[in-house]
Chains A and B, each alone.
Chain A
C-alpha cells in the first residue's frame, strides 16, 4: 500500500502542482475576497433601510446614496475577481 502511494506521488510533476496551486489560489482569492465586500454592502443596505423606515420621504436620496456606496464597497470584490481571472487564464 505504501508502495502504491509512492508510485502515485512520483507520477506527479511540478507542472501539475503548479496548476493545482493556481486553481486553489483562484478559489481562495474569490472566496475570501468576496467576504469583505459582501459584509460592507449588507451594512450599507441595512442602515439605508433603517433610514427609510424612519423617514420614508427620504427614500429616493437614500436609495441613490446606498447604491453609490455599495458600488464603491464592491470595488475590492471586483479587484479579487480580476486577480482570480488573471490566475486562471493569464498566468
Chain B
C-alpha cells in the first residue's frame, strides 16, 4: 500500500505552485494538472448530487400541489429557457440544444463560483478546461451545420461572398473557439490574481473576501452567462440558412 502511494507521489511534479502529474504512455509524455482535475470532479459531483436531490422531490402525482423544491426548479428552468434558449433562430434548434446549453451554463457557473470558497480553486482558471469547453461548442456547431444544411452548402459557406475569401473565412472560424476560451479564462484568472495580490501584498483582512465575492459571484455569473450566450450565437451563425 505504501509502495503504491509512493509511486503515486512520484508521479506528482511540483511546477511553480501547481501539482502536475506526468504519465509516460508509449513514449509520449502526458501532463495533467491535478488541482484542475480534482476541482472539475467536485463541480461534476455537485451538479449530479443537485440533480438527484431535485429529482427525488419530483416523485409525486401530477394532481398534487407542487412543493417548494419543484416550484424553485420550475422557476430555474423557465429562467434558463427565456434567457438562453430564446436566442436560437428556430424552435427546433432550441428544443434540440436546450439541455446542452443549460448544462454548459450550470457547469461554468458552478466552476466560477467554486473559487470563492477557501481552499478551492475554479477549474475555469485553467486554459485547458475553457479551451476544452470551447472546442466542444466548436465541433458541435460544425456538426450541426453539416446536419442542417448538408455537406455541400456547409462547404459553400466558406466561399462567400467571394472564393478568394476562403482563407479569411477559415481563420475566422478557427478564431472563434480561441477567443471563446480566452475570454472566460482571462476573466477568471484576472479576478484570482487581483484577489491574491491584494491579500498577499496589501490588506490581508476584510477586503480580500469582499473582492473575492465581487469577482467570483458577480463576474463569475456574468461570464458564465456570456459563455453560454456566445455558444448559442456561434451555433446560430453556423446553422443559419
Q: Which residues of A contact B (CB under 8 A)?
A: 64, 67-68, 71-72, 74-75, 78-79, 81-82, 85
Is the pair A75, B183 in contact by a Cβ cutoff of 8 Å? yes
Which chain A positions have C-beta within 8 A of B151? none
Q: Which residue of B190, B193, B230 contacts A68 across the interface (Cβ within 8 Å)?
A: B230
Is the pair B182, A67 in contact by a Cβ cutoff of 8 Å? no
In whole angstroms, how far apart are the Cα atoms of A68 and B225 in the complex? 9
Which chain A positions have C-beta within 8 A of B223? 71
Q: Closest Cβ of chain A: how far from B26's Cβ, in Å?
A: 29
In whole angstroms, how far apart are the Cα atoms of A74 and B230 in the complex? 13
Q: Closest Cβ of chain A: how far from B25's Cβ, in Å?
A: 27
Q: Does B166 contact A (CB under 8 A)?
A: no
Tally of B interface residues using CB under 8 Å: 17
Q: Which residue of A64, A68, A82 contacts B186 across the interface (Cβ within 8 Å)?
A: A82
9 contacts between A and B (CB under 8 A): A67-B229, A68-B230, A68-B233, A78-B186, A79-B182, A79-B186, A82-B182, A85-B189, A85-B193
Is the pair A67, B186 in contact by a Cβ cutoff of 8 Å? no
Known: A68-B233, A74-B183. 8 other contacts (CB 8 A): A68-B229, A68-B230, A71-B183, A75-B182, A75-B183, A78-B183, A78-B187, A82-B186
